[in-house]
Structure 1
Amino acid sequence: MATDSTATEILLITGPAGVGKSTLSWALGDALAEARIRHAAVESDELDRVFPKPDTGQLDALSPGARDISQINLAALWASYRALGHTRLIMSGVMLHVDFDQRWILAAIPDAAITVVRLRASDETLVARLDRREVGAGREAQIERSLRQARRMASEAGGGLIEVATDGRTPQDLAREILDATGWAAAAG
């Protein structure tokens, strides 16, 4: 957790597809807004939703050394939010390679302290949630992909991150737990 009042604090919400990352991020944002705590929120999927993907030459021309358009876009977004006085960011995404993802996030926001929150749910819960949101021919492939993501994340050591089960819990309860665990809720007092 950042101790300098001007440093950036990031809650990096991760987990397999369908676990509730976006819904939790919205609940966190609502709770912070209610407490009058300044923050911004970014879904990492939206940082690189472009076709065709830029090649390394194009990326290097925009930002020397950048390896991904997500890094460049996050830096641009954060520059605007930071100019408005924000020091807290909620960011969500699958993030299968947390160490790698933290590196590109820190390249975009060098003064950041990142707290990783990994969400998990039972296979039954993931399938039920994906059943509600996925339609069409890609449904089965998405369910299998999400279950693979969940297994991979469960097999990794959880050192230095907060793990939260989402089964049977409301997004508001999860948000309160995470804000208490990270100390963000105390910032309003």
Structure 2
Amino acid sequence: MAPVGAPVEILLITGPAGVGKSTLCWEMGAVLAEAGIAHVAIESDELDRVFPKPGAEELAPLAPGARDVSQLNLPALWGTYRALGHNRLIMSGVMLHVGFDKSWILAAIPEARITVVRLRAGDAALLARLDRREAGAGRDTQVERSLRQAKRMADENGTGFIVVETDGRSPTELAGFVLGKAGWLPVS
């Protein structure tokens, strides 16, 4: 575990739906565990997977100014992990508005240093991944949304991000690359 007061480091894994964020996070977790490096992994989708979703009015008595239940759940989870000695967090989500997303994450974990990793894939690879994952009535809507997200992210200025092209690369290769770039793995 980290020494008391060690800075918190967050790898924020972002990209369009279906690009492989969850798969990469699972693989990075396995690589870190194999190396004996303590870490936590949280998928942002799980922070607000509730029905009915509470709005600002319902959240106000719990946290004035909160707009999303994620703003309450992340600090609750992280507080436990931090008390257990953790200082590394892998967090994933689409994160279309990285500046906004970083602000609510930093409100929850003020002492954190966030490294943003933007995953990209070509349309053909993204469609193939979505075909393996999506089924049922929502498939076409999800494909449309993912392609829009990918286009928007491809057009943005990636300054300050680690941009990772995923086409033709295995999860193991990507995990080693990202963890190396972030300095989370010892140099061998």
Equivalent-residue separation in structure 2 for 1:5 and 1:156 (angstroms): 35
> Partners in 2 of 1:50 and 1:42 — Cα distance?
16
Once the two structures are superposed, the pairs formed by residues 1-189 of structure 1 within 5 Å of their partners are 6-186=6-186
8 Å CA contact 2:25–2:41 kept in 1: the answer is: yes
What is the letter of the counterpart of residue 134 of structure 2? E
TM-superposed deviation, 1:21: 0.1
What are the Cα deviations for residues 113-140 of structure 1, in whole angstroms up to 9, with x where unaligned? Answer: 0000000000000000100111111111
Q: CA deviation at 1:60?
A: 2.2
C-alpha distance in 2, partners of 1:76/1:51?
Answer: 19
Shift of 1:61: 1.5
SS at match of 1:18: coil
TM-score, normalised to structure 2, is 0.95
CA distance in 2, matches of 1:121, 1:57: 39
For residues 46 and 136 of structure 1, what CA distance do their matches in structure 2 show? 21
Query: What is the alpha-carbon distance in structure 2 between the residues aligned to residue 79 and residue 7 of structure 1?
Result: 14
- CA displacement, residues 2-31 of structure 1 (integer Å, 9 cap, x when unaligned): xx9611100000000110000000001001
Contact 2:16–2:94 (CA under 8 A) maintained in structure 1:
yes
Q: Which runs of 5+ in 1 are unaligned?
A: none
Q: In structure 1, how many angstroms separate the alpha carbons of the residues matched to 2:63 and 2:8?
A: 21
TM-score when normalising by structure 1: 0.94
Distance 2:151 2:124 in 1: 13
Query: Deviation of residue 71 (structure 1)?
Result: 1.3
In 2, Cα distance between the equivalents of 1:57 and 1:135? 35
In the alignment, is the contact (CA less than 8 A) between 2:11 and 2:115 conserved in 1?
yes
What is the identity, as a one-letter code, of the residue corresponding to 2:64?
P
Cα distance in 2 between the residues matched to 1:68 and 1:101: 12
Tell me how many residue pairs correspond in the alignment.
Answer: 185
Query: How far apart, in 2, do the equivalents of 1:28 and 1:71 lie?
Result: 25
* Maintained 8 Å contact 2:55/2:67: no
Gaps of 5+ in 2: none
Aligned-residue CA RMSD in angstroms?
Answer: 1.5
SS of aligned partner of 2:16: coil
What is the CA deviation profile of residues 48-95 of structure 1, one whole-angstrom value per residue up to 9, with x for unaligned ones?
111122122322221233222101100000001001100000000000
What is the identity percentage for the equivalent residue pairs of Structure 1 and Structure 2? 68
1:186 counterpart SS class: coil
Which whole-Å CA distance do the structure 1 matches of 2:141 and 2:53 have between them?
A: 23
